Amino acid sequence: MGSFMAMTREDTLMTGNGDFGRRISHHRHRLGLTPEQVADRADMSAGYVQYLESHLGIPDPGTVARLAAALETTVEDLRGGGRDRPPGPGHAAPNAVLEVLEPEECLRLIAPGGIGRVAFNSLDGPTVLPVNYRLHGGAIVFRTAYGGPMDQGLRTGVEGVEIKIGFQVDRLDEVRREGWSVLVQGPAHHVPPDEVEKVAEADVSPWAGGERHLYLRIVPHRITGRRIHCR
């Protein structure tokens, strides 16, 4: 699997600071929300959300902050800034509280799907790669390429012997200094040919694009999570 995401025309358009509406639409679809649901989360009308999605202007800072919280992203990301630097350069809030999450809450947080990170030992050593994922049948499902690092690194060659890996998802709000992180640990399975049609119902696309037809799934054996928020 490549280390760079394939760029589409929509991705290219979304890189401009004036493309605020496309970013709202992108994050809304990422979470599987309707305009009405976003409006309810952001305490505004659905008509106004639809208006913002179809116009290039950026509203007042308070509206942007409410939309960012409703769409589980940051104000800076919604505005289109900071795309080429790692997140989290600031300091923790002075009154920050770290909360342990129950497995049920962890699953609720990652249920919408999106981008996660798979951690495993490859032929080159410890490796972490981004993947698009979905929850399907109680397992985490993603796609990669036959013969790629994950295909090779997650095969034991011994029947009945599985490789246990880590899968991590997080959402961070840098402005509020809040966010959460979920870690799932469990064995990785190559989906056999006779089950591919069923697993394909998850409708997950590969993060890097291209010809990636190998489905992998992680069966959760241990689910942990943390949320950081201000008092």
Is residue 102 domain-shared with residue 20, that is, in the same domain? no
| Residue-level pLDDT at 18 | 46
Is residue 47 domain-shared with residue 14, that is, in the same domain? yes
Q: How far apart are CA 231 and CA 228, in angstroms?
A: 10
Q: Provide the residue type at 64 as one letter.
A: V
Q: How far apart are CA 214 and CA 223, in angstroms?
A: 25
By CB atoms closer than 10 A (0-12, 13-18, 19+), residue 43 is: exposed
Q: Is the pTM of this model over 0.85?
A: no
Is residue 37 domain-shared with residue 103, that is, in the same domain? no
Is residue 112 domain-shared with residue 27, that is, in the same domain? no
Is residue 129 domain-shared with residue 179, that is, in the same domain? yes
| Residue-level pLDDT at 3 | 34
Give the angle 213-31-204 at the CA atoms, nearest 5°: 10
From residue 117, alpha-carbon distances to 27, 35, 39, 92, 208 in Å are: 19, 28, 30, 23, 13
Each residue's pLDDT, cut to its tens digit, for the chain (231 residues) gives 333 333 333 333 333 334 788 889 888 988 889 999 999 999 999 999 999 998 877 889 899 999 999 998 888 888 876 556 666 655 666 778 889 999 999 999 999 999 999 999 887 889 999 999 999 989 999 999 888 888 888 887 666 667 899 999 998 776 567 889 999 999 999 988 899 899 888 888 888 777 888 899 999 999 999 998 877
| Residue-level pLDDT at 15 | 38
Domain count, the chain: 2
Which CATH number belongs to the domain containing residue 67 in this structure? 1.10.260.40
Is residue 178 domain-shared with residue 114, that is, in the same domain? yes
Is residue 127 domain-shared with residue 224, that is, in the same domain? yes
Is residue 73 domain-shared with residue 121, that is, in the same domain? no
Residue ranges making up the domain that contains 219? 96-230
Strand-pair category, 96-101 with 139-144: unpaired
DSSP one-letter string for 161-192: --EEEEEEEEEEETTTTEEEEEEEEEEEEEPP
Which CATH number belongs to the domain containing residue 151 in this structure? 2.30.110.10
| Residue-level pLDDT at 168 | 97
Task: Using the 3D structure, point to which of 50, 79, 108 is the last residue of a domain.
Answer: 79
Task: Using the 3D structure, point to which of 79, 104, 120 is the last residue of a domain.
Answer: 79
Is residue 46 domain-shared with residue 130, that is, in the same domain? no
Q: Provide the residue type at 168 as one letter.
A: Q
| Residue-level pLDDT at 140 | 95
